[in-house]
Amino acid sequence: MHALNTTTDLLQQRLSLFSETEHRGLLSRGLRGIERETLRVDAQGKLILSAHPIGLGSTLTHPYITTDYSESLLEFITPAEPDIAIALDKLSDIHRYAYTQMPGEMLWNHSMPCELPSEEAIPIAWYGQSHIGMIKHVYRRGLALRYGKTMQCIAGIHYNFSLDEEVWRHLKVAEQVDGSERDFQSESYVALIRNFHRYSWLLMYLFGASPALAKSFLRGRAHQLQQLSEDTLYLPYATSLRMSDLGYQNNVQDGLVPPYNTLLEYMRSLSIAVRKPHTPYEELGIKRDGEWVQINANVLQIENEFYATIRPKRVIKTGERPVEALCTRGVQYIEVRCMDVDPFESLGISLETGRFLDTFLLYCALSESPLTNEQEGQENLHNFALTVKRGREPGLTLQRQQQAILLQTWGSDLIEKLRPIAALLDREKNTQEHSRSLEVQLEKLRDPARTPSAKVMTALHEHGNSFLKFSLAQSQHFADFFRDEKPSRQVMDEFKTLTTSSLQEQAKMEAEQVGTFDEFIEDYRSRTSSQICCDSFKN
């Protein structure tokens, strides 16, 4: 496959290529974006149950502000930017503007929810009467039936990452790879994803920030957590209970997408899941009293129901299914979905974390990525699950190619392998930020007390061992910060214009649509078979 010297490390070859004058700067171009989820709460930390504030615009058509599962769960989306620092500045503007439209409300600054009302009282997100808006709402009705509303109130940070497409073109030429540029780019992103699954446990150790949760979150479910106080449960060495089997996990989806080596394998797995009936979901019904309560009774209603820590992505067109977009146009970027909200950061994520993620993801993209299999897939799952529940445990060992290795030893080895990438990015940007971010992470490996999860535990002790009291205090602190640091007049004008135009666009969609919703949803459901699409991808 590679025309370059096969006795030389692939990562070293590729870094040498992009260190050359004619290619310099390409690795730092790419695009970065953030999606930040956050609950709306009142001054006592209770969930706000009212409709999405009209001053934030239409949740269906606003480019930056929408809702995730619930009317109460905001989602802030930055544009894709060439530098994560620019994306974070935009995210800050979104927060500042949002606070001007939310009198008496604030944003919950933690991944695990505040004290929630009854399941029935949690409001499902509403997107208006257009067919597109209604199918988004029906999908969420289905999620409520299948998993309950409580789990859907967990919040996270999604990190969107792409390399400049010139990077893939130059690599394809240098390595003399046959086939189309689209296929090479797509399969290179799949190779990135394979490496991500091998090493993502490290992100859980370094950035997991949910070692505890409100006791009420479990609603009496059986668990193996320890009691920290009357209202708080925890595990002493946990890093991210959000990413454990108490959070975004679903037994129905176990083994749904086996370890995959090609984009086609991934698409086929998802295509089967959105066509395969699941008896318990059939028993729930698709319609009740003439109202749609789920899109279908299959293992997945749509592809996005699959809970993955990372996804290959392509920007979709209105009404297009995610697999259709991937089949037709290939992978455009990846979405990292396992990052906790950092409760000590006003935006839920810091620039330093972004610099590390860029370095880490470039390592996953450019280093050798052997084909995977079921055995390695189980090893990866084991390492991830162990780290989220016991990551700070002294002497904890993981499995690397079926051999036991100390978490700290493996983590330190990985940091050392990231150094040349950080150095190259720093040279391109005339900074030391990427290299400094590695040093900060290395200190966390040397001293677990420096991890966010350990800092959360320390802060909990300072708040009477109460998750709710700690999270409320942090949320109030940052609410005061954003209210004091009001957006500029330019930002206010920009967002007011976006608010008005988004509401007008939604109204136009509702006024101009044709046909019935039943016809629309049946057409949408009929496009679950992607065999033709997958055949076109192979060609």
User: Could you read off the pLDDT of 94-138 as tens digits, one per residue?
Assistant: 999 999 999 999 999 999 999 999 999 999 999 999 999 999 999
Work out the average pLDDT over 4-12.
66
> Which candidate, 501, 347, 358, 491, places its Cα nearest to that of 35?
347
Bridge partner residues of 157 (DSSP): 36, 339
Query: C-alpha distances in angstroms, 432 versus 326, 421, 436?
Result: 36, 12, 6
**Which of 77-86, 189-198, 244-253 bottoms out in mean pLDDT, i.e. has the lowest?**
244-253
Can you read off the two tokens belonging to residue 71? 């009317």
Q: Does the structure show a pLDDT above 80 at 324?
A: yes
Can you read off the two tokens belonging to residue 147? 């998993």
**pLDDT tens string 370-413:** 999 999 999 999 999 999 999 999 999 999 999 999 999 999 99
Residue 256, C-beta contacts closer than 8 angstroms, at least 6 positions apart: 269, 273, 299, 300, 306
Domains and CATH numbers, the chain: 29-165+187-257+309-368+393-512 (3.30.590.20)
Q: Does the structure show a pLDDT above 80 at 316?
A: yes
Q: How far apart are CA 79 and CA 88, in angstroms?
A: 10
Helix (H, G, I), strand (E, B) or coil at 214: strand
Q: Does the structure show a pLDDT above 90 at 214?
A: yes
Residue 320, C-beta contacts closer than 8 angstroms, at least 6 positions apart: none
Residue 538 belongs to what H/E stretch?
helix 531-538
Q: How far apart are CA 96 and CA 387, in angstroms?
A: 35
**Which pLDDT does position 252 carry in this prediction?**
67
- Strand intervals (E) in 249-366: 287-288, 291-292, 310-313, 333-339
Q: Does the structure show a pLDDT above 50 at 520?
A: yes
Q: Does the structure show a pLDDT above 90 at 416?
A: yes
- Supply φ then ψ for residue 271, to 5 degrees: -65, -35
Going by their DSSP bridges, the two strands 397-400 and 403-406 should be labelled as antiparallel
> Which candidate, 502, 80, 529, 24, places its Cα nearest to that of 268?
529
**Which pLDDT does position 317 carry in this prediction?**
84
Contact 124, 140 (CB under 8 A): yes
**pLDDT tens string 231-289:** 999 999 999 999 998 865 556 677 788 999 999 999 999 999 999 999 999 999 999 99
Work out the average pLDDT over 522-531.
71
Q: Does the structure show a pLDDT above 90 at 37?
A: yes
**Which pLDDT does position 250 carry in this prediction?**
55
Burial of 116 (0-12, 13-18, 19+ CB in 10 A): buried
**Which of 7-21, 46-60, 293-307 bottoms out in mean pLDDT, i.e. has the lowest?**
7-21
**Which pLDDT does position 528 carry in this prediction?**
64
**pLDDT tens string 446-500:** 999 999 999 999 999 999 999 999 999 999 999 999 999 999 999 999 999 999 9
Q: Does the structure show a pLDDT above 50 at 4?
A: no
- Strand intervals (E) in 105-171: 106-107, 157-162
Count the Cβ atoms, other than its own, within 10 Å of residue 215. Answer: 21
Contact 448, 367 (CB under 8 A): no
**Which pLDDT does position 277 carry in this prediction?**
94
Query: C-alpha distances in angstroms, 79 versus 61, 191, 474?
Result: 14, 25, 27
Q: How far apart are CA 46 and CA 116, in angstroms?
A: 7
**Which pLDDT does position 3 carry in this prediction?**
43
Mean pLDDT for all residues in the chain:
94
Percent of the chain at pLDDT above 90? Answer: 89
Contact 452, 240 (CB under 8 A): no
Please tell me the pTM assigned to this model: 0.95
**Which pLDDT does position 342 carry in this prediction?**
98
> Which candidate, 334, 325, 384, places its Cα nearest to that of 358?
334
Angle between helices 489-512 and 84-100 (to 10 degrees): 80
**Which pLDDT does position 251 carry in this prediction?**
61
